[in-house]
Chain A
Amino acid sequence: MSVLVDKETRVCVQGITGSAGAFHARQCMEYGTKVVAGVTPGKGGQMFDEKVPVFDTMWEARKEAGCNASVIFVPAPAAADSILEAVDAGVELVICITEGIPVMDMMRVKAQMGGKKSRLIGPNCPGIITPGECKIGIMPGYIHKPGAVGVISRSGTLTYEAVWQLTSRGYGQSTCIGIGGDPINGMSHLDAVKLFNDDPKTAALILIGEIGGSAEEEAAAWIKDNCRKPVAAFIAGTTAPPGRRMGHAGAIVSGGKGTAAGKIAALKAAGIAVADTPARMADTLIARMKERN
């Protein structure tokens, strides 16, 4: 067991013939991910690296290759349409790596996804990985190790930092999900927490958040009442000046809301161990796990 993806997951890469799509499709395949289809409009009928059939539409990719996950590397102006195309095709898990999608586009995507069975991870995210089984995204595979810690994060490189800390201390990961740094995204911290809570293979959780919005607070409130697994967290942006967008479109403190201090307080109030520096994410979790045993 793991969360959302495993060695049976059949992946389609939207934008597989573009430079980013092609590069990461190869990286994922090297890791062992089953990439069964690619989509680039106008390039249907080609074979990618003589291994992966390319289709013009997601409708065909789903029908012909039976993909149940799709990863999007399409440039920002067309990415919202690509998400909706995958949802329309009935793909269960849609992962959008693309950064820089206008937030109004994501607002409309989210509204149109209501009631559909597809789940969306991202956009502006590193993707999802179940170590040793399936990597769908842009994270460096080798820093991961199969194990029992679930990792949820809004940031790419900060996730790598947490994963590397865990791996170097001998703690592997069940699944790592990068939910992305945009103000409107698919899966939230809370959605991911619920999945890990139900996953018997996941024994503990690291939650990485940052300034802006209230997703971390919502996850904290639910954890307090429902999650018995040890949880550690880190919130980036204690030193971020208010009103400035810190790289991620969603990382902004506005009107005194979404501050790191507020989030840290909410997490602590829910009994979550909060790392005081990003260098201590793994150590904070390990200490909490030992306390519980």
Chain B
Amino acid sequence: MNIHEYQAKELLEKFGAATTRGKVASTSEEAEKIAREIGADELVVKAQVHAGGRGKGTFTNGFKGGVHVVKTPLEAREIASKMLGQTLVTHQTGPAGRVVNKVLVAASADIAREVYFAVLLDRATAAPLVVASTEGGVEIEAVAEKSPEKITREPIHPLAGMQPFQTRKLAKQLGFSSAQLKPAARLFSALYRTFIDSDCSMVEVNPLVLTKQGEVLALDAKFNFDDNALYRHPEIAAMRDTAEEDAREVEASKHELNYIGLDGNIACLVNGAGLAMATMDIIKFYGGSPANFLDVGGSATEEQVTEAFKILIADRRVEAILVNIFGGIAKCDVIAQGIIDAGKTVHLTVPLVVRLEGTNVEAGKKLLAESGLAVITADDLADAAEKAVQAAKEKMNEKGPS
């Protein structure tokens, strides 16, 4: 799950992490009011969409830039009015762009230095790890490649947590002076607290800045949350903005289906995450391209399978569907019935390849054979993938070049 910049800011403030003063506005009047409250000489107005590259983006109304520096509240109002309700296109949004419903109005930081600071959960050690660098404002992967000596790693004890001495050590390693030690250390421990108490897998602050006035601030923060822990953070779960997500994924999540949209034309419906990934891989191996990842799980009901099927069929890119089930807890007959029910409510316009194996396989095959649905059956995984790729090709040829 991703959150907006203004939400990240609110989360940081909640945990006492120093950041620039600012608030989110939904109208241009609000933007002006916030700018007045802040009362800074220089402010930034930033379009709130999840995609990166906002500064260099262009609105479909011709207005250039999703990030603007302004001097007065009236100017903030004017800029906000050009962004709100408009569609911003950046290199990450795709040509359709994203509608901007909110703008962040914040005091502009007078930056003296930029550094990088992140807390993440390190899989190899099963413990939190602080990754920091004097090279802020650039991608950490690039720093790791070019000058790995400029990256500091500070392991944190999983039960004891970050110790005060570690925050002071990190502050010095990042080049902060004795006078800046306290605000830097205070910010680091607040960021660590945010990480732990919000069940994050990563909090990345880039840049973390020293201002010319001597403040140490988190300027831009990116959060990765542990989906498994969202049940105990309803306030974070409420930050989800479905308008920013793939419509297919939003629909799938309503039915508790594990779905990820891709760009290919062969839809797949599989039980189990590993097998679902492997099914995508084998489609690619035989020269096809998967339209999605979909794991219906072990306890899928007929209704869930039917809903999953509807999502696959509604995807206009899809030229063929591959169902690959290895019944363990999941039963082949339940899956088969779900497919048949879906076939009754939505018209199946693309070829359907089904491979069933495992629990209740005979009952499942029988149901499909007697249903009257046009099903291409497959004997094993390779056979299924080849048939799906072939069927998708034929379907495309049938339609002719578009």
Contact = CB atoms under 8 A, between A and B. Distances in A.
A184 interface: yes
Contact of A158 (B229, B260, B275): B275
Contacts of B159: 108, 111-112
B227 A249 contact: yes
B92 to A, nearest CB: 12
Interface stretch (A54-62, A225-233, A272-280, A285-293): A272-280
Contact size range, A: 35 or more
A103 B158 contact: no
A131 interface: no
Interface in A92-108: 100-108
B373 to A, nearest CB: 24
B158 A110 contact: yes
Contacts of B358: 140, 143, 160, 164
Contacts of A154: 274
Interface in B306-361: 326-329, 357-359
Interface stretch (A3-11, A33-41, A235-243): A235-243
B271 interface: yes
Contacts of B277: 155, 210-211, 236-237, 239-240, 246-247, 251
Contacts of B226: 102-104, 249
A213 B298 contact: no
Interface string A96-136: 00001111111110111000000000000010000000000
A245 B226 CA distance: 10
Contact of A246 (B293, B329, B380): B293
Nearest to A218: B124
A250 B290 contact: no
Contact size range, B: 35 or more
Contact of A278 (B124, B357, B381): B381
A156 B281 contact: no
Given A107-B158, A157-B271, A279-B382, A247 B258 contact: yes
A77 B280 contact: no
Contacts of B128: 107
A22 B276 CA distance: 28
B127 interface: yes
A156 B284 contact: no
A290 B270 CA distance: 33
Interface in B252-295: 258, 260, 262, 270-285, 290, 293, 295
B126 interface: yes
Contact of B196 (A104, A184, A234): A104
B281 A103 contact: no
A152 interface: no
A102 B230 CA distance: 9
Given A143-B358, A246-B293, A279-B380, A213 B123 contact: yes
Contacts of B278: 155, 158, 161, 234, 236, 278
B276 A247 contact: yes
A154 B298 CA distance: 16
Nearest to B290: A239
B271 to A, nearest CB: 6
B272 A277 contact: no
A293 B281 CA distance: 31
Contacts of A111: 126-127, 157-159
Given A102-B229, A249-B228, A250-B123, A239 B328 contact: no
Contacts of A181: 273-274
Interface in A128-175: 138-140, 143, 153-161, 164
B351 to A, nearest CB: 20
A255 interface: yes
Contact of B326 (A108, A161, A245, A280): A161
A233 to B, nearest CB: 13
A277 B382 contact: yes
B121 A139 contact: no
B123 A184 contact: yes
A143 B231 CA distance: 36
Nearest to A248: B273
A157 to B, nearest CB: 3
B158 A155 contact: no
A212 B123 CA distance: 9
Nearest to A240: B277
B201 interface: yes
Q: Which of B126, B271, B290 has the largest number of chain A CB atoms within 10 A?
A: B126
B89 interface: no
B398 interface: no
Contacts of B381: 161, 277-279
A213 B126 CA distance: 11
Nearest to B141: A255
24 contacts: A102-B199, A107-B128, A108-B158, A110-B158, A156-B275, A157-B270, A158-B275, A159-B274, A160-B358, A161-B381, A184-B123, A214-B123, A214-B124, A238-B281, A238-B284, A239-B281, A239-B283, A240-B293, A244-B293, A247-B272, A247-B293, A256-B141, A277-B281, A277-B282
Given A102-B232, A247-B272, 4 more contacts: A103-B121, A157-B275, A161-B381, A241-B260
Interface of B: 121, 123-124, 126-128, 140-141, 157-159, 196, 199, 201, 226-229, 231-232, 258, 260, 262, 270-285, 290, 293, 295, 298, 326-329, 357-359, 380-382, 385
